[in-house]
Amino acid sequence: MFDRLVQRSSKHMARLELVIAVSLLGLTCVSPLLATGIPEGSRHLVTIGVLAVQTLLVLRLVRRLEQTTKGFRESLGKLVTQLRKSGIETTTATVSPEIATTDWGDKYKAVCDEINKILLEFTHLKQQCATAEVRSQRYSLINQRLNDLMNVVPDPILLVDGSGQIVSCNRAAQHQLKIRDSSSVDNTGDQDTSLFNELLEQVKKNRGANAVFDWRVNSSSGQTTYYRVLTREVSSDNGNRSDASGDRAIFLQDLTPLHELRKRHAEFVSAASHEMKAPLAAIRAYTEMLLDGDATDDETREQFLSTIETQSQRLQRLVENLLNIARIEAGIMKVHKQAISVNEILQEAGRLMTAAANEKGITLALELSPLYLPIHVDRDLMLQAVINLISNAVKYTPQNGNVTVRSQLQDSTIVVEVEDTGVGMSPADMERLFEKFYRVEAHKQMAPGTGLGLALTKHIVEDVHGGKISVQSKVNEGSVFTIALPRASAKTAPVRMPTEFAEV
């Protein structure tokens, strides 16, 4: 394409030379005429003719010059446009013989060669720029994905240089160590936070290529956090570790939940041992008295044996509750669910607890819904859960008090309530009420217990049957325990008429 433009320019130059030659020839012819003694009229006529011809030649010369200049301008313009485009091919200009024989040819070819050299360099540079841009976009995408991956990690991750400045960190580190976002920690030196400085001191104390140590953090609010800290030296590009750089990656693993679990396990073992110790001590004491012959008559011997039996039953209930809780938490509890009316379970529980209520002069009433309320549950486990609630209500209600058991339907949920007029409890006690072995300190002298009944009830209702248990209480006014269970579907509930329920 560039060759065609040069050839067109060469033709314009050849035409320019022809016009100049004709003009010079006309001037040569006119000059003798003006010098000879021809008649004045003829001389004027010839002069006018020559001038007219010369004028035409000059006009044509100007037009050719304009065309030639335009041709050069278009040629150079096309070349510049080619330079701005991508993927252009290298061209070689061919100078026409007409221009090559003049001074213009050498200069024109030199300009074209220089432009071609620039064109080659520009093309190579543009290819390098395109390759670099692709690599930059690829590295930027990889870097963004790595940042997203680090931010997903819930534990703090940091990269620290040899001077102790943060090069990079994830969001967990920003939040837990109270560090500003990574855009403000790059080489600014503004990292004067107590937690970060304390971490750096611990890292310096445990210097090593692959150091592992535990770090305990006490916050101003009194909360304690336990971390497992791992440090790794960052390798250079060739894979060698350089002590001169001192860059170090720091990984923090929050072990606080594990410490809490260990603490609760220790408390569980201690409480279980304590609860087992009392009945075992009573059984041993009365057994020794029987063996020593302290029971001299049948009545005393019967009393000792009755105490031993009572404590044995208490110990058996404790072991059974522990086993049931362990089975439920491990997911190996054998459950046999069936569709049954919730009122049947409540009525059975009421019958079993009537004697205990009567001993304290407590009125136990069942306010059951006249509707048939089917639930899909393990009958024995749900009966045990309801008995635990009624038993607690009877235990912590003073004499001549009231305990009321209700059932009702709320939308598609069946609700069971056990309300008492007992001693009640504080909000702080309600938060821990369903923990294993937890007992309200102010109520321990009112009735014996292991602190496992409500914990087991919560497991039965929520973990086994997918329900919900809650409590509302006021000190010296009483408590209301609420169980919410999904109503059994038509596929699981048998079709039968509601039965009459008597008040206990």
- pLDDT (tens digit, 9 = 90+) per residue, 316-348? 878 887 888 888 878 788 888 999 999 999 999
Q: What percent of the chain has pLDDT over 90?
A: 18
Which residue reads 């041993």 in tokens?
284
- pLDDT (tens digit, 9 = 90+) per residue, 467-496? 999 999 999 899 999 999 999 875 554 434
Q: How far apart are CA 70 and CA 63, in angstroms?
A: 10
* 504 closest CA partner among 423, 417, 402: 402
- pLDDT (tens digit, 9 = 90+) per residue, 154-170? 888 888 888 888 888 88
Using CB atoms within 10 Å of the CB of residue 438, give its burial: 0 to 12 exposed, 13 to 18 middle, 19+ buried. middle
E strands present in 357-444: 363-367, 374-378, 402-410, 413-420
Question: Among 8-17, 54-63, 127-136, where is mean pLDDT lowest?
Answer: 8-17
